Amino acid sequence: MRELAASSLALPATRVPGLPAGRGPRLALARRPLLTFGLAIVLLIVMLAALAPVLPLRDPNVTAPARRLAGAGVNGYLLGSDQLGRDLLSRLLWGARVSIAVALVAAAVALVAGGAIGMLAGFYGGLTDNVLMRLIDILMAFPYVLLAIALVAALGPGLLNALIAIAVVNISFYARGVRAAVLVVRRAAFVEAARALGASDARILLREVLPSVAPPLLVFVTLNLGALIVETAGLSFIGLGAQPPTADWGTMLADGRQFMMTAPHVAAIPGFAVLALVWGLNIVGDGLRDMLDPTLAHTAH
């Protein structure tokens, strides 16, 4: 995400030139093994998380003090148990539901709010643009982790408040990205044509501008989701996110931190989960970006 901001968000606002007409998605995937691999990781984790209630797992919150800090494979714990004897595999999958849900909702909120600001600023320009973007500048004047922490501090620790904080912090990134993309198309012939036909501003924005900025936005969301997952885990890790007994990947890391000496796997496993999911999302984001911008792909791979 930071990387996207750094590359000045000159997202290509063209209509999927990487996919010539007549070629299905299957061929596109077959020619991109890395993208397929990333997609597979993400889908696997999302599916396991979605299926957690029907999988034969122990209750993630049932404690068994006699079998605490079991190693992987011991006592029927596939990934071992934590300091209260809770099944790590079960907590990992149930925790995935929390982490993924928070990241998705936060991304949706930031996308809608930031996207609306960016579209209005980019489309109308002038005073509207100036006022909206100066507000965004102020929001960006805060180092974003700090702003999230300050907001959570104000609202009180908790998963919902962490979600709000993370969404607010990411609005500025979407606003800037969408504005840059809108600036590219707002003088395009198809926008002029729609205006000449007498279409209203709202119609032009939603039916002409939005579809043409959607593909680069998809790349943006994919790469941003990874950052959101890390941010959510981070807030939970320092005690400002999910509260016990709710398991999310961040609180699991915090739990494991206290037993690094005797049971390092308790801290290691949730971190691997975060890494795998974020890695998968980043691979997919990179792959999609290359598909959308063949010139970049040519130099990049």
Residues that bind other proteins (CB under 8 A): 2-3, 5-8, 134, 137-138, 141-146, 149-156, 226, 230, 233-234, 237-240, 253, 256-257, 260-261, 264, 267-268, 270-271, 274-275, 278-279, 281-283, 286, 299-301
Q: Rank residues 15 and 134 by Cβ distance to other proteins and give the closer one.
A: 134
Q: How far apart are CA 46 and CA 280, in angstroms?
A: 11
Residue 202, both tokens: 């709202």
Q: Rank residues 213 and 227 by Cβ distance to other proteins and give the closer one.
A: 227
Q: Rank residues 58 and 289 by Cβ distance to other proteins and give the closer one.
A: 289
**Which residues, 6 or more positions from 173, have their beta carbon under 8 angstroms from its beta carbon?**
1, 4, 5, 110, 114, 220, 224
Q: Rank residues 87 and 286 by Cβ distance to other proteins and give the closer one.
A: 286
Q: Rank residues 208 and 286 by Cβ distance to other proteins and give the closer one.
A: 286
In sequence order, which ranges of 141-261 are alpha helices (DSSP H)? Answer: 144-155, 159-185, 189-196, 201-203, 210-237, 249-257
Length, in residues, of the chain: 301
Least distance (Å) from other proteins to the CB of residue 255? 11
Q: Rank residues 195 and 279 by Cβ distance to other proteins and give the closer one.
A: 279
Least distance (Å) from other proteins to the CB of residue 194? 33
Nearest to 16, CA basis, from 294, 300, 297: 294
Least distance (Å) from other proteins to the CB of residue 107? 17
The SS3 of residue 252 is helix
**Alpha carbon of 60 to those of 79, 86, 231, 247, 257: distances in Å?**
13, 6, 23, 8, 19
Least distance (Å) from other proteins to the CB of residue 131? 12
Residue 282, both tokens: 């980043």
Least distance (Å) from other proteins to the CB of residue 196? 33
Least distance (Å) from other proteins to the CB of residue 55? 25
Q: What are residue 81's DSSP bridge partners? A: 87
